[in-house]
Chain A
């Protein structure tokens, strides 16, 4: 969680400094959801992500150096500089890609689960999406089909209260996305998405259910998007006070630290050691990205097709 937080704070800084091109959508404040869910998965399980995908990618075990290099548009990035922030992916750890289209990953996860079911294997696919995506047809079609076929998939709705700039209540007929599970006769579970332990426990149950062939679960993680929709968003749709209050009361990392110290899970010295390691990893990621070369312009013509190029120009 801390690695995601520090990674993103650095990304924010470097984007504003003009070192990172394109758009960046930050995950700050939602770390407990990605980490809680991915902790219930093995490396062989699949995830699909959203346009806010750095957290999921790191939580699934991707290397922060190659993540950072991708955001910088460098040759050493996971997508060789062709994807960037919105299309970060690491197929090596089963992270099948961030998606620039809201809801675009929902059925990809259902399909990965279908492939698992067809080969009678035990992997599970998890789909992360936001509350906004739950208003798209792809969500309703995907949940229905996965339910009918009992696919080993867990649909994880990160209800961060904002669909781009629109608050939940203005665009969504229900207050809890998990209610929608009723329409598809699957369990709808709601947890505090800022409590990593709660997320982990709920995710584990849903994953286990999927592995046993009992079908999908809709897991709603209630969280809050601390940053704007994208870096540079003037955020005229909400007050600074609202955001500060959420951060004060619900910051998932603060909550985790309180629990760790209260339950004596780690000592303060161990925590400081983790903090040092994280700072070091992020600094190294930035150095790696900045020292990596840009791709050769001719590489724009690679990776379109598996072999040969469809060039009739």
Chain B
């Protein structure tokens, strides 16, 4: 175990996978010359050359489209989207091509491909550089979507995504890149589709993921100290396929459910989980399911405005108190 940053953990994943499999290559804007905006690609060209670590024109449509074509012809592309917001520019490639190529061709195609998408709110990046869009892709069959909350999972999920024969969108929260945490030595994978119970508790289940999980853990401490409420915290880790079994098991035990994410609450992943729980195990619930998410506004620029619209620790605390009415 070493204590390394989220950014370095993803860099290790890239190094290990590119050494292991020469079909793996990476392309995106400013990744070779600059090392990526968050340093997540630093040094890769030196070891693997500018063919396999390539700077692209600012042409998201071509980048994603070519990634898909390369994948169909036997390569394993990792595509950096610079900012998750820019997936919108290449949305046809994601929803009409990447997600459907295997299915609509009757399984003739195999599409190993990772789309890395830095998302989330950090340092006043404002409305077009701050979005969390994971719910969009929950709604499109054919993709997998992973979203790590810590350096160990960042590495393990990226490696698993690269080895997965399906297209995987890998959301990495911009505010997590510098965060450090323990990362196991050597080769390991974090399985796609398995949630983790990161805190045991009996009084309420809180489901979260990505950077929001840190706030949830702080909220869980406050709840334990100030309200004698012992929360069980689940890190979803994967949005598609979603590990609802782990959620159901926990809710059956705690009888209460709060879901917290940084993405806009309306139409978010939380709504899907709430619906699934009420459809399938409603009889176990002793209180209302409560969702915590961003306000229904674009993310504003000025720090006090930004803090106001994205969910905070106290919002999670209040949600739990509401769920315990």
Interface, chain A (partner B; CB < 8 A): 46, 48, 77-83, 87, 89-92, 96-97, 99-101, 104, 106-119, 123, 125, 137-138, 141-142, 144-145, 148-149, 302-313
Contacts and interface: CB of A to CB of B under 8 A. Distances in A.
A312 B241 contact: yes
Interface in B223-263: 240-242, 244
15 contacts: A82-B106, A111-B68, A111-B71, A112-B70, A113-B73, A115-B74, A118-B70, A119-B74, A138-B92, A149-B54, A302-B107, A304-B102, A304-B103, A305-B142, A305-B144
Contacts of A305: 102, 142, 144, 166
B69 A308 contact: no
A87 B96 CA distance: 12
Contacts of B66: 107-108, 110-111, 114, 142, 145
A66 B65 CA distance: 28
Nearest to A309: B241
Nearest to B101: A97
Interface of B: 23, 25, 51-52, 54, 56-57, 59, 61-75, 77, 92-93, 96-97, 101-110, 141-142, 144, 165-166, 193, 240-242, 244, 276
A81 B75 contact: no
Contacts of B144: 305, 310
Contacts of A138: 61-62, 65, 92
Given A79-B105, A96-B72, A310-B144, A145 B92 contact: no
Contact of B109 (A97, A101, A106, A142): A97
Contact of A141 (B52, B57, B102, B103): B57
Contacts of A148: 57
Given A110-B66, A125-B73, 10 more contacts: A82-B104, A87-B104, A104-B97, A107-B93, A111-B65, A112-B72, A118-B25, A119-B23, A304-B142, A311-B241
A109 to B, nearest CB: 6
B69 A48 contact: yes
Given A114-B70, A118-B70, A310-B240, A79 B104 contact: yes
Ordered nearest first, which 7 A-B pairs have the shortest CB separation? A111-B69, A107-B65, A310-B241, A111-B66, A79-B106, A303-B107, A141-B62
A91 B165 contact: no
Contacts of A144: 57, 59, 62
Nearest to B77: A111
User: For B61, B75, B242, which residue has the most chain A Cβ atoms within 10 angstroms?
Assistant: B61
B62 A107 contact: yes
Contacts of B101: 97
Contacts of A82: 103-106
Contacts of A106: 65
Nearest to B108: A91
